Amino acid sequence: MDDSSPERCKEGELQAGRLPRHIAIIMDGNGRWARERGLPRVAGHEAGMKAVREVVRTCGDLGIPVLTLYAFSTENWSRPQSEVDFLMELLVRYLRSDLEELHRANVQIRVFGERQGLSPLVRREIELAVERTRANTGLVLGLAFNYGGRQELTRAFRQLAEQVERGTLRPADITPELISRHLYTAGLPDPDLIIRSSGEFRLSNFLLWQSAYAEFWWTPDYWPDFTREHLLCAIRDYQRRERRYGGVSSC
């Protein structure tokens, strides 16, 4: 964990040539943020939308190619039905209210996760947002919604097994690169930097394959309190690290 104070992080400290190509964020702590203020859990999710908008704008301003936000996991279905319903409604509201602004900013929206189980309304809003921004060439905004890393890998392996069964693929031809092409993130770089708010130290079934060599940055602050300065701190600290990919230090 890095103890950098967000107030001390400025954009001018960043090295333009060493920005991460893909930042992925586990947006955690909404419920605890609300509880500490005597509010219902859904109030924390609502408050967290301010942080979402700020992070998306900052990544666009900096020229980060890909940002992925963990919005709803396959395990989140076990939460109270009222909270699940609110999270579904929140996604619909976000896509409806922000879609045109994102489109004008040249943001391309992608949604990673299973569509099965989502209501027709949620599926329709997802499809409209993805189609509306498909040709955009700026920031790729990935929303991991009804997403689980193990489920993603199971889906990819099942697709490959079906090809083997049909005789169109030999087991010997299955490579890490081929598996990557069957994931939701196909065609995108793996995350260079994974950020988690609220002081938790776990991946929570998020981008398990893609995070093999990601750098991690944690903050004790809850997601609704996450700011542009937090993101700048995370990127600054990422740039100070030496990425060896299993090799030895260059020093």
Cα separation, 94 vs 141, in Å, equals: 13
- Domain 6-148+191-239: CATH superfamily, name plus number: Decaprenyl diphosphate synthase-like (3.40.1180.10)
Active site residue 221: no
Torsion of CA 239, 3, 144, 139, to 10 degrees: -40
- Two tokens at 143? 């929303």
Phi first, then psi, for residue 233 (nearest 5°) are -60, -45
pLDDT digits (tens, 9 = 90+) for 204-232: 999 999 999 999 999 999 999 999 999 99
Residue 251 confidence (pLDDT): 59
Is 60 exceeded by the pLDDT of residue 4? Answer: no
- Three-state DSSP class for residue 213: coil
pLDDT digits (tens, 9 = 90+) for 140-170: 999 999 999 999 999 999 999 999 999 999 9
Dihedral of the alpha carbons of 186, 190, 193, 199, in degrees to the nearest 10: 60
Catalytic residue among 30, 76, 173, 205: 76
State the chain's maximal CA–CA distance in angstroms: 59
CA distance 238 to 192: 9
pLDDT tens for residues 84-108? 999 999 999 999 999 999 999 999 9
Identify the active-site residue in 28, 190, 192, 225.
28
- Contacts of 164 by beta carbon, 8 Å cutoff, 6+ apart: 170, 171
Per-residue pLDDT of 169-195, as tens digits, reads 999 999 999 999 999 999 999 999 999
**Residue type at position 197:** S
Say which residues have a Cβ less than 8 Å from residue 238's Cβ, sequence separation at least 6: 20, 192, 193, 215, 217
Domain ranges of the chain: 6-148+191-239
C-alpha closest to that of 53 among 5, 102, 104, 106: 102
Please state, as a whole number, how many other Cβ atoms lie within 10 Å of the Cβ of residue 173: 10
Which H/E stretch holds residue 59? Answer: helix 41-62
pTM, rounded to two decimals: 0.94
The residue type of 10 is K
Rounded Cα gap, residues 199 and 190, in angstroms: 23
> Can you give the three-state secondary structure of 61-78, one letter per residue?
HHCCCEEEEEEEEHHHHH
- Give me the pLDDT at residue 5, please: 65
Tally of CB atoms within 10 A around 196: 24
The verdict on whether 76 is a catalytic residue reads yes
